[in-house]
A and B are shown apart, each in its own frame.
Chain A
Amino acid sequence: MTRATFPGGVHPPETKWTAETDIRPLPLPPRLVVPMAQNLGAPAVPTVERGQAVARGEPIGKPDGFISAAVHAPSSGTVTGIERVIDAATGRTTAAVVIETDGKDRPHASLPQEPRPWQSLDGDAIRQAVADAGVVGMGGATFPTHVKLTPPKGKAIDTVLANGAECEPYLTCDYRVMLAEADKIVTGLRLCMRATGAARGIVGIEDNKPRAVEAMRRAVAGADDLDVRVFPTKYPQGAEKQLILACLGREVPTGGLPADAGVVVQNVQTACAIAEACVRGQPLIERVLTVSGDAARAPGNFRVRIGTPLAALLAEAQVQEGYEALILGGPMMGKAQFTADLAVTKGTSGLLVFRRAAVYEGGPCIRCGACVRHCPSWLNPSRLSILGESFLAGNLDAVDTAMEFGLMDCILCGACAYVCPSRRRMVHLIEMLRGERRKALERRRERERAQAAGIQREVEKVAD
């Protein structure tokens, strides 16, 4: 049993109350709100009109460019409109196709009836099937999967990691999927290996999920090129770069992708979706997520259609009125929401409701060094947060100084803020500095463009 891990990290209380709760399918809601922005990169473009009848699995949004993903109708019904809704992940607004379901769940004619053997597919066919199915990373990052399965030129991929770490407290959906669909995960892993030319596939799981380890070990039994690795339970073990380091002892270079370390990482649910897409031609229209938190009387793991309003989930989990905090994702990196008027997207791994909101008032840094010791990216979060405050106080050079301290190497996991005895808003300040960095770069580009245009005008004047 491999017990390797990464230096740093924290161990918050696991509170996985729903670990022994079976996945329950949620009844089809009468109304589905399917946002077009469900992936990192460009949002999809709606291809349906108001009043149009749609069938389950019918494309309703086409990808806008390469780094984008298709969106499909999660069930059959009628499009009642295309609305602007809030994208829970970014807080910006996005177009959403609203479907009134007819309860028949009629499949679209283009969906294949017969499963095809995955062995018959080559790399391009896999990528095409995955792109057609609109698969994105379901761990929360929502990076379009077909892009991930396209290795950059000159970079050889030798290993595919299926990420079953699920290091966020409360969340148990990946765990339940590993118990229920181990074979499908292995098929997805095989397909990824085939698409990227990797010779090795590894499933990574934290040691607080022995039954998942057992299930996955059974599923890979007899295969020489597949392996299940067990890691100590530690947040953020499931972060891509930390998982690669723990698994293979390789560091993804700064500014690089896992491909630069010869690795592709896929969440276990994404692996399932890849298998569904390639074997049965099913688009990504549903996922498993965890509803939990102390305001939920019946927390559980639910299989829900994309676009399901959160209200349906809250009702199913018997959430009491008067809760203060609603978080999409896990408690460490999930985003707090100010309204429940949102819909499930492909990246929604959890819905947490708490009676009391966790709002902390930060104090000054007392230089205890806890953040430095626990940072999984080996940064000095204390310094970065102080630079953030310095920027807010008017020191505009703080952004450049922060760059020297690895501003862009932060993975925003929040381990520093978790351990901080002064309750400082580390991640917030670091994010703010990053935003300022982006703005500064844009301003510089703008200035250069203006300068170039000015020179051009002078040249033309002289020519005249």
Chain B
Amino acid sequence: MVGHWPHLRGRDTTARIMWSVAAALAPAAVFAGYVFGCRAYLHIGLAVATAVGAEAVITYLRFHRRSRDGVKATWWRRSGMTIGDGSAVVTGLLVAFCLPAQARWFVPVVAAGVAIAIAKQAFGGLGCNIWNPALVGRAFVHVSFPTDMNPAAYPVLTGHHFLGNVGTAVGGMAGGADAVTGASPMAMAKSIATQGYADVDVLKVLTEGHGRGLWDMFVGTVGGDLGETSALLLLVGAAYLIYKGWIRWQVPLAYLGTVAAGALLLPLYLAGGEGGAESAAWQPILLAMPDAALRFVLWHLLGGGLMLGALYMATDMVTSPLTNKGLWIFGAGCGVLTILFRLYSHAYPEGVCYSILLMNTAVPLIDRWTRPRIFGHKR
């Protein structure tokens, strides 16, 4: 047998990378059950099973060979199914991670099916998709079943009274899914941004925190979608992947950095929201109470799907740029869009999903801008 050079190959393989990503997501998946109860496992199981099943069926139809073609190949190889590479499992996990626990059972099925069948395989399968499959799946169910997707569908707090229930939400969370009452941290952050900062109670949250608010958001004992709550576990998994070089640190750093800077500085210049929120109120907070401002920034960093999105969705190899410079631009672009969505969109408390999808669209353009100078060429 004769192969083309090089006759040596590195150790990394697609399957190794994908299964490692799945393993990095596993702690957060296990923890989801602790926070949201067994329903979390039902959703994760349904999403992964649908993703793998859809991948198996479609790749079988696309690639299977009936005859042996004189090639010594096992039934498995001839079937052409590509579920062994682990990418479908990762997509299934990510789909489940951005669904809320109370969604009806078919929501993860539809989301994962759309992710694999439409967002991935219809574009040509692994490596050919333009948009992150999991996020397309989420966006699809988000517009199809909005009541299932809104964490605020739980006994919700409106207006300025939400603070009264923060304690319930935060304190009761560890007790399990039944105790989930109250808006997710993102909905609250949104209120802070849009309602202005004059509210004394809001200030109180910002300056003193509320109970173990930020700590809970870091550990993950808060409301939200299944896999997005625990920044800690997501960071641990991502640290391993970054160490192995399988996700590029440039993206989360640029993404989180831009969001932090935006949360800190944007309210100074742009008034947001209904009822004439006063940006003027932010300046004294920033100047007089830097730790309150810091809390607000941390709130944004730890809240919602940002950690999940920045560490696992925006870093998806297929749908992010090739060059390091491109990754910086991509991450920063995601950050700018996310913070704009979060602070200034009226209908939508969360911006991670659509920010990343929009930046995915820009990837070919970014790749074109950031083409490296070829050896021996002038710029």
Binding site for B on A (CB under 8 A): 10, 12-13, 169, 241, 245, 251-256, 324-325, 327, 331-338, 352, 354, 357-360, 363-370, 372-373, 376-380, 382, 406, 409, 414-415, 417-423, 425, 427-428
Contact = CB atoms under 8 A, between A and B. Distances in A.
Nearest to A409: B374
A358 B9 contact: yes
Interface stretch (B12-20, B41-49, B143-151): B12-20
Interface in B2-17: 2-10, 12-14, 16-17
A421 B4 contact: no
11 contacts: A252-B376, A254-B377, A331-B6, A331-B7, A332-B5, A335-B5, A338-B2, A357-B2, A358-B9, A366-B127, A369-B322
A308 B237 CA distance: 56
Which of B2, B85, B125, B318 is packed against the most chain A CB atoms within 10 Å? B2
Closest 8 CB pairs of A and B: A414-B6, A364-B127, A357-B1, A254-B376, A406-B374, A377-B375, A369-B322, A428-B4
Which of A334, A367, A415 is packed against the most chain B CB atoms within 10 Å? A367
Nearest to B322: A369
Contact of B10 (A10, A241, A338, A406): A10
A337 B248 CA distance: 39
A76 to B, nearest CB: 36
A422 B374 contact: no
B7 A332 contact: yes
A10 B128 CA distance: 26
B373 interface: yes
B365 interface: no
B376 A169 contact: no
A415 B375 CA distance: 15
B371 interface: yes
B10 A427 contact: no
B12 A421 contact: yes
A372 B4 contact: no
Contacts of B318: 366-367
Contacts of B323: 369, 372
Interface of B: 1-10, 12-14, 16-17, 85, 124-128, 245-246, 248, 317-324, 371-377
B53 to A, nearest CB: 21
Contacts of B14: 363, 366, 421-422
B289 to A, nearest CB: 43
Given A325-B1, A363-B127, 20 more contacts: A13-B8, A241-B375, A245-B375, A325-B2, A325-B3, A336-B2, A336-B5, A336-B7, A358-B8, A366-B127, A366-B317, A367-B127, A369-B317, A369-B321, A369-B323, A372-B322, A379-B375, A406-B377, A421-B10, A422-B14
Contacts of A427: 4-6
B371 to A, nearest CB: 7
B321 to A, nearest CB: 8
Nearest to B326: A369
A421 B13 contact: yes
B375 A251 contact: yes
Contacts of A325: 1-3, 7
B356 to A, nearest CB: 15
A358 B8 CA distance: 7
Contacts of A418: 6, 8-10
A376 B375 CA distance: 8
Contacts of A253: 376-377
B85 A380 contact: no
A236 to B, nearest CB: 10
A150 B121 CA distance: 58
Given A336-B3, A364-B128, A366-B317, A423 B372 contact: no
B80 to A, nearest CB: 12
Given A369-B323, A377-B375, A363 B17 contact: no
Contacts of B9: 358, 360, 417-418, 420, 423
A369 B372 CA distance: 12
A382 B367 CA distance: 12
A406 B317 CA distance: 23
Nearest to A377: B375
B370 to A, nearest CB: 10
B324 A377 contact: no
Contacts of B1: 324-325, 357, 359
A359 B8 CA distance: 10
A379 B322 contact: no
A324 B2 CA distance: 8
B350 to A, nearest CB: 27
B372 to A, nearest CB: 5
Contacts of A425: 4
A39 B372 CA distance: 34
A416 to B, nearest CB: 9
Given A325-B1, A427-B6, A380 B125 contact: no
A407 to B, nearest CB: 10
Nearest to A419: B10
Contacts of A241: 375-376
A307 B17 CA distance: 47
A409 B6 contact: no
Nearest to A360: B9
Contacts of A338: 2
A368 B14 CA distance: 9
A343 B104 CA distance: 72
A327 B245 CA distance: 31
Nearest to A369: B322
A373 B4 CA distance: 22
B342 to A, nearest CB: 28
A417 B317 CA distance: 17
Nearest to A336: B2
A372 B320 CA distance: 13
